Amino acid sequence: MPKIELKHVTKRFGKFLAVDDLNMIIDDRAFVTLLGPSGCGKTTTLRMIAGLETPTEGIITINDKIVFSSEDGIDIPPDKRDVGFLFQNYALWPHMTVYKNIAFGLENLKWSKDDINKRVVELLDMLKIAEFSHRYPSELSGGQQQRVAIARTLATGPKALFMDEPLSNLDAKLRMEMRTELKRLHRETDSTFVYVTHDQLEAMTLSSRVCLMKNGYMQQYAPPLDVYRRPINTFTADFVGSPNINLIHGSVESVSPLVFSLPGDIKLGFDPIEKMNLEVGQKIILGIRPEHVAIAEDASMVEATILSSLPSGMETIVQLKMGDSHLHSVIFGDLDFDVEKKVGLAFTSGKFNLFDEESTNNLGQGRLKKA
Amino acid sequence: MSAKSRLNNFKSFIKKPHNIILIVLFVVLGYLTLVPLMTIIVDTFSVHSSEARFVKQPVGSFTLYHWNKMFASGVTSQKTFYEPFLNTMVVAFLSCVMAIAVGGFFAWTVTRTNIRCKGFISTVFVFPYIMPAWTLAMAWLNFFRNSRVGGAPGLFTVFTGIETANWFAYGLFPIVIVQGLHYAPFAYILIGGILRNMDANLEEAAMLLHANRWQITRKITLPIVKPALLSTFLLVFSSTMSAFAVPAFLGSPVRYQVLTTQMFRTLNGMNPGYGYIMALIMIVIGVGILMLNQWITGRRKSYTTITGKSSNISLFNLRKARTPLTIVLVTVLVMVAILPLFSFALESFIMAPGNYSFSNFTTEFWIGAGRADIANSEPGILRNPSIWLGLTNSLKLSVIVSLIAGTVGMLAGYSIAKRRGSKLSTWVNNLTFFPYLMPSMAFGAIFLSMFAVRRGFIPALYGSFWLLVIVGSVKYLPFASRSGINAMLQLSGEIEEAGTIMGIGWFKRMTRIIFPIQKTTFISGYLLPFISCMRELSLFILLVSPSTRILTTLLFQYNEKGWNQYANAINLMIVVIVVSFNLIVNKLTGASIDKGIGTN
């Protein structure tokens, strides 16, 4: 069964380092997302696994079979790797009908006409595009083209399916629909999915594991909620979650009891739930998820001023000024707040991540309390 | 609608500069293209002064004489029309095949394989198109003419002792080779453009679905390139069909006649009516081709806009064939694009043609004062006042024509793109393209007869330099207007609107916003008319008078008189001017001819 393994994979384009010493194991039947800002090397990584791009160094194995090794000069062509690839712009062949597009791969495998017909019809039904089978791609909408592309990729039954930002050309409503569809397909086809996106919401909602990349480096490789709860550094903390996590710079005022001094003469106490070594005066960054900022009249830990209030019905995003730092809060329910009003803030629920300012790495978790 | 609101509608229509441009172009181009067309038709039915004796009817009266003679008069029709017509079709068809095979192969090799010297190949490969069409024809004669027909033998015979066969040296075979090579760059640019813009993912998707190289080429790449291939075929077909110089150089020694050479004989001689019928037939074929082309590109499966991330095309690895193939291609290019120039230089320094020994070298034809025993005491090229006059005229003509055609084309492109889809815009678009379909010589002949007399406020222009300017500007407008339309379609309308909202006037918007953004494409629209005009022969050949002669017509005259050395020297001069001008403009502005013909 297809387990995909990358060992020390590096890709250089001239002097530009696209992917740097990447090590990763993609388990069988996993749904792994490569997530990161544009130019971080995620598409290159995917194309290297598929065999469309040749790594500069490293070893790639699919299903315990080495498909690429720079040492041993192995480079198995893409069509022998038994993988499917879904392109960002679908890459449907404009001169073939929907039916022909889907049948093409099967014809190359020398399937009989009847078998091809059976399989194509099955896929047309599965993706609900049977009525378009004799149309040309230019006569389909974006969402329909997307389905054809998926059907074409699935036709030959690849054990690993690679997708390069497949939903980025669709509108918001269709994207939502296709996300559900992809999750269903993942379950039904029983294959390994590797998915490239820059949309953290897609990564969070779809995948079983997220690989966060930046400038060719892998930053964190973990299940999405783990990344959300315990980001390994400020980059991954900031990349995941909407609205973004509040990253408040400050320094250690005293070690026992542990008190942080935040800009604008704000003091907050911190109860570590794991061991961490801090010194007085050390610069830190405190990570506070917006949903953990509660607006409370009484029992408040600190004072703040409301800068803006953006109610959307189900929730309201409030921008606040606490001392000299700004932070976002998400309040659930159809509430609105008066701008300029002074309120108290409480950080009673949730665990809070502490980062070192210099290295940006996670130092550990703890709870906030009144100083 | 009330009269008042109709008036207001009209007012707001007229306030927009692009509407005014469209109307002016519609009137002027209508006059300069449709009137000639009507004149041609009328001329085929009327008695011309030179024919009054045979027809036995007064000059100008209605007659079916020409049509009758051309189509239904047994041997006469056979000789004057059917045979040349058949020859034309065969030549045009085979030249197209040749051009597409050569151009397509080079385009594929440069865009899809890891061949070496790509820069050199793509720079030099367009030379045959930039150079006058007859350059290669003359080079062919320099190398392969034989003593049976051509007098002195060519370089090939001199060095190898093998006498070339007539079929090899003259007629169909060399015409097809030369025209094919001349238009190969055209195919190269069009097909290469598609291959370059084609989304590499389309091929990668096929590869992942277990198709091999050959299957990918046959089932994916070729079908996608097919519309471009067909367009190229049709456009090259209409160009080769109306080409005059090459058949004139290579066909006439063995009396291999095509429609254009027949047209030259008849228009220049006793039976202009015949010539006009031939012109008309070529126009009809041309329009048919254009319509066919539009039908092909507008069909259901059409996919003119194929774009995508094609940065990471996986190149076909030629492996061991890499270096040998590079050498072969470069050799072919050197033979086609560079060697001819050497042959012109060489021939122009030879005293007695055919003798390449050192003692036979002379500078007489370049700087000699003229000797009574050769060429009627014609002085050498550099001391020859008529050559200098021709050179000045050629340059003056090309510069003025390129300024007019380029500017009008840019404005036309701007207005057509602005009002795309409207009837007026479609009409003007077709009118600007129509001159492309008119065979040059017929176009020249018509203007000659139209403007030989005073027409309204336009004085009689016969023998005037301005007649050449008008003909050239109209004929080359299609190139410039194509560039203009391309440039404008790439530009979002909002860019201009942003200027309008800030209260910037139209002239300033054009000169300060639109032109600078699309500078290279617009300049390409000026470059192509200049180059075409510098090397044009058939358009002007009937129009020049002794005081307005230009380099190309001089060259033709010298060649007809058999003064080979002069012809070669002039040819070298034209090629050097055109090629260096193209390279300089290309280096300075980034404009290039492929931007001009890129998306016909």
Contact across the interface for A109 and B223, Cβ inside 8 Å: no
Tokens in use for B460? 């009689």
By Cβ distance, the residue of B207, B210, B220 closest to A93 is B220
pLDDT at B290: 78
Other Cβ atoms closer than 10 A to B359? 7
pLDDT at B306: 43
Going by their DSSP bridges, the two strands A209-214 and A217-222 should be labelled as: antiparallel
CA distances (Å), B47 to each of B54, B262, B274, in order? 10, 19, 11
């008309």: which residue's tokens?
A: B280
By Cβ distance, the residue of A79, A88, A94 closest to B301 is A94
Contact across the interface for A91 and B303, Cβ inside 8 Å: no
Chain B interface includes A152 (CB < 8 A): yes
**CB A278, CB A252: distance < 8 Å:** yes
pLDDT at B374: 64
List of domains in chain A = 4-238 (3.40.50.300), 243-370 (2.40.50.140)
For the stretch B212-234, pLDDT in tens is 888 888 888 888 888 778 877 88
Contact across the interface for A105 and B210, Cβ inside 8 Å: yes
Q: Which residues of A touch B201 (CB under 8 A)?
A: 87, 89, 91
CA distances (Å), B444 to each of B105, B268, B428, in order? 36, 11, 22
Contact across the interface for B312 and A52, Cβ inside 8 Å: yes
* DSSP conformational letter for B40: H
Q: Which residues of B touch A52 (CB under 8 A)?
A: 204, 207-208, 312, 314
Going by their DSSP bridges, the two strands A352-356 and A325-332 should be labelled as: unpaired
3-state helix, strand, coil in chain B (%, to 5): 75, 0, 25
Contact across the interface for B303 and A94, Cβ inside 8 Å: yes
List Cβ neighbours of A358 (8 Å cut-off, separation of 6 or more): A283
By Cβ distance, the residue of B207, B219, B223 closest to A78 is B207
Nearest residue in A to B301, CA atom: A95
- Asked whether the bond before B153 is cis by omega within 30 degrees of 0, the reply is no
Q: Using CA atoms, how far apart are residues B478 and B435, in angstroms rounded to an integer?
A: 7
By Cβ distance, the residue of A53, A83, A89 closest to B208 is A83
Four-residue CA torsion sign, B190, B191, B192, B194: positive
Contact across the interface for A91 and B199, Cβ inside 8 Å: yes
pLDDT at B396: 94
Chain A interface includes B209 (CB < 8 A): yes
Q: Using CA atoms, how far apart are residues B472 and B509, in angstroms rounded to an integer?
A: 29
Q: Report the range of poorest mean pLDDT among A113-117, B152-156, B367-371, B447-451.
A: B367-371
């690429």: which residue's tokens?
A: A68
For the stretch A214-267, pLDDT in tens is 998 999 999 999 999 999 999 999 999 989 999 999 999 999 889 999 998 899
Chain B window 224-253: which residues touch A at a Cβ cutoff of 8 Å?
224, 226
Chain B interface includes A53 (CB < 8 A): yes
By Cβ distance, the residue of B199, B209, B301 closest to A108 is B209
For the stretch A268-302, pLDDT in tens is 999 999 888 899 999 999 999 999 999 987 767 88
Chain B interface includes A59 (CB < 8 A): no
Question: pLDDT band for position B377 (50/70/90)?
Answer: low
pLDDT at B173: 93
Contact across the interface for B312 and A53, Cβ inside 8 Å: yes
Ranges of H-type helices in B307-384: 322-333, 339-348, 364-367
Ranges of H-type helices in chain A: 42-50, 98-108, 113-126, 142-155, 172-189, 200-206, 224-229, 234-239
Other Cβ atoms closer than 10 A to A48? 25
Which residues of chain A carry a pLDDT beneath 70?
1, 299
Q: Which amino acid is at B333?
A: L
pLDDT at B90: 94
What average pLDDT does the segment B357-361 reach? 72
């003909």: which residue's tokens?
A: B471
**CB B424, CB B22: distance < 8 Å:** yes
Whole-number average pLDDT of chain A: 91
Question: pLDDT band for position B303 (50/70/90)?
Answer: very low
Smallest CA–CA separation between A247 and chain B, in Å?
A: 36
pLDDT at B302: 46
Contact across the interface for B208 and A78, Cβ inside 8 Å: yes
Q: What is the CATH number of domain B363-368+378-600?
A: 1.10.3720.10
By Cβ distance, the residue of A79, A93, A138 closest to B207 is A79
To the question of domain B81-341 being in CATH 3.20.20.70, the answer is no
Question: pLDDT band for position B382 (50/70/90)?
Answer: confident
Tokens in use for B392? 């000045």
pLDDT at A142: 85
Residue extent(s) of CATH 1.10.3720.10 domains in chain B: 81-341, 363-368+378-600
Residue B274: pLDDT over 50: yes
By Cβ distance, the residue of B201, B210, B223 closest to A108 is B210
Tokens in use for A185? 């397909």
Residue B304: pLDDT over 50: no
- Asked whether the bond before A243 is cis by omega within 30 degrees of 0, the reply is yes
By Cβ distance, the residue of B219, B224, B303 closest to A138 is B303
pLDDT at A244: 93
For the stretch B78-136, pLDDT in tens is 888 889 999 999 999 999 999 999 998 998 888 888 888 888 888 888 888 878 888 88
**CB B189, CB B126: distance < 8 Å:** yes
Ranges of H-type helices in B269-384: 272-297, 322-333, 339-348, 364-367
Q: Which amino acid is at B499?
A: G
Ranges of H-type helices in B46-171: 52-55, 65-71, 74-77, 83-112, 118-125, 127-130, 133-144, 147-150, 155-160, 166-169
3-state helix, strand, coil in chain A (%, to 5): 25, 40, 35
By Cβ distance, the residue of A85, A94, A109 closest to B205 is A85
Contact across the interface for A89 and B201, Cβ inside 8 Å: yes
Chain A interface includes B20 (CB < 8 A): no
Chain B interface includes A139 (CB < 8 A): yes
Smallest CA–CA separation between B311 and chain A, in Å?
A: 12
Q: Which residues of A touch B208 (CB under 8 A)?
A: 50, 52, 78-79, 83-85
CA distances (Å), B424 to each of A326, B23, B138, B431, B514, in order? 59, 8, 45, 10, 23
Residue in A12, A16, A46, A52 to test binding to B, most B beta-carbons within 10 Å:
A52
Q: Using CA atoms, how far apart are residues B409 and B405, in angstroms rounded to an integer?
A: 6
Sheet hosting strand A302-311, strand order edge to edge: A294-296, A342-346, A302-311, A315-322, A325-332
Residue B308: pLDDT over 60: no
Whole-number average pLDDT of chain B: 82
Other Cβ atoms closer than 10 A to B507? 9
Tokens in use for A331? 């309040």
CA distances (Å), B282 to each of B43, B294, B404, B433, B442, in order? 15, 18, 27, 15, 9
Residue B202: pLDDT over 80: yes
- The region, left, alpha or beta by phi > 0 then psi within -120 to 50, assigned to residue B95 is alpha
Q: Report the range of poorest mean pLDDT among A89-93, B43-47, B353-357, B477-481.
A: B353-357
By Cβ distance, the residue of A53, A84, A109 closest to B208 is A84
Residue with more model confidence, B535 or A210? A210
Residue in A104, A123, A148 to test binding to B, most B beta-carbons within 10 Å:
A104
Contact across the interface for A89 and B308, Cβ inside 8 Å: yes
Q: Which residues of B touch A47 (CB under 8 A)?
A: 312
Q: Which residues of B touch A91 (CB under 8 A)?
A: 199, 201-202, 204-205, 308
Q: How many CB pairs under 8 A join A and B?
A: 75
Chain A interface includes B454 (CB < 8 A): no
Q: How far, in whole angstroms, is CA A181 from its chain's centroid?
A: 18
CA distances (Å), B479 to each of A64, B434, B526, in order? 60, 11, 9
Q: Which residues of B touch A84 (CB under 8 A)?
A: 208
